[in-house]
Chains A and B, each alone.
Chain A
Amino acid sequence: MAEARRRRLKVQAVIGTLPMIAVGVGVYIIGIAFTFYWSFTNSKLFPSYNFVGLEQYRRLWASDRWLIAVHNIWIFGGLLIAFNLVFGYLLAVFMDQRIRQEDLFRSIFLYPFAMSLIVTGLIWQWMLDPNLGIELTIHSLGWTSFHFSPLVDPDTAIYGLVLAGIWQGSGVTMAILLAGLRGIDAEIWKAAKVDGIPTWRAYLFIALPMIRGALATAFVLQCVGVVRVYDLIIAMTGGGPGISTSMPAVYVIEMITSSQNVGQGMAAAMMMLLPIIAVLAVGGVAMWRRNRRARAAA
């Protein structure tokens, strides 16, 4: 009796989580399987089942557009993550100095994160527009040789995107790292003071290693944001000038919409998934080994 009742309740739980099962299996197994499969076909606008082997991957890595996109994501990602972590930590450290109006400063540093990346992209498109923004303003003040318009030059447009990314994302890093700093035991600070360690060294060599959890969180958040970056580019540069600021996420969408080259887009999408799987695998193995060691120690 009790057994049957328990089983009936378990069935209720399964029914309750049907959407989760559907999404987990339907989207993240079957969906990825289809993407994987179509990446080996010559699908154009609609999926075809005409197998062409690795041809799409070969063509992908021979395409300038894709190579530029890959090159860009490394530059953009590397610079943005580095700047956001450094600037975010600096802001957090300065915020940690018993300042007045802490809430006000926090709101100011964080508000860009609440807005759409489309909005951020447009704002910075205008700020960096030589016919409207910072450059024109400085010129009108009399300094006519001043030059600051990264977006019009294919070589520098990517740095404009990085600037917008810093504006949008460094506040979040600050908030996460500040929370980490506030979690450090007050005794640690006292001990550092007794030992005569200067404040900046305490923040760099004592506090920083202690907040590695918060650092990891901020880092992962940034990485996910970088891989997904699409809206910002569309709003700010449209991938231009030319194709100079294209990125993998933009490339995939272009392939499955305007270029009508689904097979190629799917191959590119699989290339986007590859680093994620690699990182998750490394993380998974590390966790498994730690668990095993913990069990062995217990």
Chain B
Amino acid sequence: MTTGDATLTDAAAVTRWGVEPSGVKPRRFSPARLGIYGFLIISAAFFLIPLYVMVVTSLKTMPEIRLGHLFNLPQTWTFQPWIDAWLHACTGRDCFGLHPGFLNSLKITVPSVIVSIIIASINGYALSFWRYKGANIFFGLLVFGAFVPYQVVIYPLIIAAREAGLFSTLAAIIIVHTIFGMPILTLLFRNYYASVPVELFKAGRVDGAGFWQIFFRIMVPMSVPITTVAVILQVTGIWNDFLFGIVFAGRSNWPMTVQLNNIVNTTTGVREYNVNMAATILTAAVPLAVYFISGRWFVRGIAAGAVKG
């Protein structure tokens, strides 16, 4: 759908991917070119070396790690640390590895992403086409909320969750993610729907369609690009969350990030660096996969989310 694509590039005008570099046209080969690539390659090394170290260390045995050759490839390759990280690593007395945390993160992320996006898209739609009296005040509150540190409202939310009997449940953490995802997602959808031609909306009204009919019949089918951006933003954001998970989800629902931190930072006795690093890579795997598959959409989400309304 061409209108959808056109409006998306509008909404995320800061990320002009298709445009050619506009800098001064360089000569073919020169010391300056060498310097440019030198700087970029050294920078790339700074970003890549930690990941490389993690991967090779997770494939080494502990005696080899103690020798201290951090950058060497493993002399004897072993996948045991990965198996241990997934199935046997200990947090306190429980030694089930990371896989319960992985399942918890799935149980938290999937409903949170769906609920928060549905609510935010309706918000954005209403704010663009059905501006009732006071709507913009509530929207202003949300935008303000985007800047409020979590610590300012976290305790009232804890008390509210406790009063509602939801504290330490899956429902609590899903609600909390929906709340804190709402400002940025509402902004995203509002800006997107604001660039939808109003004629489409008017045509719907002429045909007698109401609030929900126009939303489901006209807007939802047009919303694929912006929903993709929202899904990427939410999946990575919620998967990577630590604070809300540890506070609201309760021990039995702790997400992967919390379990990872417990495995690594509370171990008593010998630190199994290879297992810890394998566990860390496993925790980062889902958002990294999202990042590498989605590519440019990922940045579009960051940029669109960061741009002022």
A16/B126 in contact, CB under 8 A? yes
A227/B149 in contact, CB under 8 A? yes
B23/A111 in contact, CB under 8 A? no
Tell me if A224 is interfacial: C-beta within 8 Å of chain B. Answer: yes
Q: Which of A49-57, A113-121, A146-154 contacts B (4 or more CB under 8 A)?
A: A113-121
Interface residue SS majority, chain A: helix
Of all chain B residues, the one with the shortest Cβ separation from A90 is: B39
Chain B interfacial residues counted at CB < 8 A: 102
For the complex, give the distance between the alpha carbons of A133 and B194 in Å. Answer: 51
B283/A118 in contact, CB under 8 A? yes
Tell me if A282 is interfacial: C-beta within 8 Å of chain B. Answer: no
B153/A35 in contact, CB under 8 A? yes
For the complex, give the distance between the alpha carbons of A120 and B9 in Å. Answer: 31
Q: Tell me the minimal C-beta distance from A295 to chain B in angstroms.
A: 18
B306/A276 in contact, CB under 8 A? no
Q: Contacting A20 at CB < 8 Å: which of B186, B242, B290? A: B186
Chain A interfacial residues counted at CB < 8 A: 110
Q: Mark B27-56, 1 if CB is under 8 A from A, else 0.
A: 000000100110110011011101101100
For the complex, give the distance between the alpha carbons of A192 and B302 in Å. Answer: 32
Tell me if B252 is interfacial: C-beta within 8 Å of chain A. Answer: no
Tell me if A270 is interfacial: C-beta within 8 Å of chain B. Answer: yes
| A residues less than 8 Å from B68 (CB atoms) | 132, 136-137, 139-140
With A114-B298, A122-B260, A127-B53 known as contacts, the answer to whether A193 contacts B149 (CB < 8 A) is no
Q: Mark A29-64, 1 if CB is under 8 A from B, else 0.
A: 111101100100000000100000000000000000
| A residues less than 8 Å from B40 (CB atoms) | 91, 94-95, 99, 105
Tell me if B152 is interfacial: C-beta within 8 Å of chain A. Answer: yes
Tell me if A248 is interfacial: C-beta within 8 Å of chain B. Answer: yes
Q: Mark B67-86, 1 if CB is under 8 A from A, else 0.
A: 11111000000000000000
Q: Could you say which of B68, B71, B130 has the most chain A C-beta atoms within 10 Å of its C-beta?
A: B68
Q: Contacting A10 at CB < 8 Å: which of B39, B132, B306? A: B132
Q: Tell me the minimal C-beta distance from B16 to chain A in angstroms.
A: 5
Given pairs A9-B130, A127-B50, A140-B67, 14 additional interface contacts (CB within 8 A): A16-B212, A20-B186, A21-B138, A23-B142, A27-B157, A97-B23, A113-B302, A202-B24, A230-B150, A252-B151, A253-B154, A253-B243, A272-B149, A272-B151
Q: Which residues of B contact A (CB under 8 A)?
A: 13-16, 19, 21-26, 33, 36-37, 39-40, 43-44, 46-48, 50-51, 53-54, 57, 65, 67-71, 119, 122-123, 125-127, 130, 132, 135, 137-139, 141-142, 144-160, 178-179, 182, 186, 210-212, 215, 236, 239-243, 247, 257, 260-261, 264-265, 273, 276-277, 280, 283-284, 287-288, 290-292, 295, 298-299, 302-303, 306-308
Please list the 6 inter-chain residue pairs (A to B) with the smallest Cβ-Cβ separation, ordered nearest first.
A24-B141, A13-B130, A116-B240, A12-B211, A114-B291, A252-B151
